Structure formats: C-alpha cells, structure tokens
Amino acid sequence: MRKDILTNKMYPKREMVRIVKDKDGNISIDPTGKKAGRGAYVGLDPEAIKNAKSKKSLEKVFSHAVPENFYDELFDFVDHQKARMDLFGDLGKKH
C-alpha cells in the first residue's frame, strides 16, 4: 500500500503511478517504479492531476519547479493507465 500524495488516500502500489525527482532535479514518470531518486505516488485519478496542476501540488511535494507540460504528460499517462485498469483489471497481469 502507498499513499497518494494528492488525495492522501492509500492504494495498492500497482494501482498507482510513481513520480521521481532525480539527483539533477529532473521530475519524471517512473513506470517501472525503480528509478533512482525521491519518489512519490499518485493514484489513477485524472481529476486529481488537473487539481494538482492548478494548485501546483507537485512543486510543494518536491520543493522544486515542475514544468507545466509535465502535468499534461502525467494526466495522459494516468488517464491511459486508468482506462487499462478499467478494461483489463489488474495492471500487473500481461494481456
């Protein structure tokens, strides 16, 4: 179980997306969950990503500037993962 940094709700790790800030300060989506750096998790809720963009929530979590286009990339990734989960169920299974 991991805590969603945007909603403070707990979810199974496989139902979340990891975001990581590396040692150079680059913030990226970590689909493998294994990139080095400071990681944080967000749930598969596209609306929460929209709210995070308007509130600049990730800047507060990482204490670092986050490019506007990263929120759009994160929204698209989360939306896609949510659709896959709705269609296929468990994201950990190969289909």
Q: What is the DSSP string of 3-26?
A: EBTTT--EE-GGGEEEEEE-TTS-
CATH domain 2-88 topology:
Hypothetical Cytosolic Protein; Chain: A; (3.30.1230)
* The predicted structure's pLDDT at residue 94: 47
What digits encode the pLDDT tens for the residues 42-85?
A: 999 999 999 999 999 999 999 999 999 999 999 999 999 999 99
- Angle at CA of residue 45, ends 85 and 43, nearest 5°: 80
Q: Quick one: tokens of 15?
A: 């139902």
Q: For residue 93, is pLDDT > 90?
A: no
Q: What is the pTM of this model?
A: 0.88
At residue 88 the predicted structure's pLDDT band, cuts being 50, 70 and 90, is: confident
